[in-house]
Chains A and B, each alone.
Chain A
Amino acid sequence: ETGVTQTPRHLVMGMTNKKSLKCEQHLGHNAMYWYKQSAKKPLELMFVYNFKEQTENNSVPSRFSPECPNSSHLFLHLHTLQPEDSALYLCASSHAGQGLYEQYFGPGTRLTVT
Chain B
Amino acid sequence: RKEVEQDPGPFNVPEGATVAFNCTYSNSASQSFFWYRQDCRKEPKLLMSVYSSGNEDGRFTAQLNRASQYISLLIRDSKLSDSATYLCVVNSGYSTLTFGKGTMLLVSP
Total interface residues on A, using CB and 8 Å?
28
- In this assembly, does A50 line the interface, its C-beta being within 8 Å of a C-beta of chain B? yes
A56 vs B97: C-alpha distance in the bound complex, in angstroms? Answer: 12
- A48-B96 in contact (CB<8A): yes
**In the assembled complex, how far is the CB of residue B40 from the closest CB belonging to chain A, in whole angstroms?**
11
For chain B, give the interface size range: 20 to 34
Number of A-B residue pairs with CB-CB distance less than 8 Å in the complex they form: 56
- A102-B95 in contact (CB<8A): no
Q: Which of B36-65 contact A (CB under 8 A)?
A: 41-46, 49
- In this assembly, does A21 line the interface, its C-beta being within 8 Å of a C-beta of chain B? no
From A33, A41, A108, A110, give the contact of B101 (CB < 8 A). Answer: A41
**In the assembled complex, how far is the CB of residue A38 from the closest CB belonging to chain B, in whole angstroms?**
11
- In this assembly, does A104 line the interface, its C-beta being within 8 Å of a C-beta of chain B? yes
- In this assembly, does B21 line the interface, its C-beta being within 8 Å of a C-beta of chain A? no
From A90, A97, A107, give the contact of B95 (CB < 8 A). Answer: A97
- In this assembly, does A100 line the interface, its C-beta being within 8 Å of a C-beta of chain B? yes
Which residue in chain A gives the minimum CB-CB distance to B51? A100
- B42-A107 in contact (CB<8A): yes
> Which of A40, A42, A55 has most B Cβ within 10 Å?
A42
Additional A-B contacts beyond A43-B99, A48-B96 (12; CB < 8 A): A31-B95, A33-B96, A42-B4, A42-B102, A50-B95, A98-B95, A99-B32, A101-B32, A102-B46, A107-B43, A108-B42, A110-B41
Binding site for B on A (CB under 8 A): 31, 33, 40-43, 45, 48, 50, 55-56, 88, 90, 94, 96-108, 110
**Top 3 closest A-B pairs, CB basis?**
A105-B43, A43-B99, A42-B101
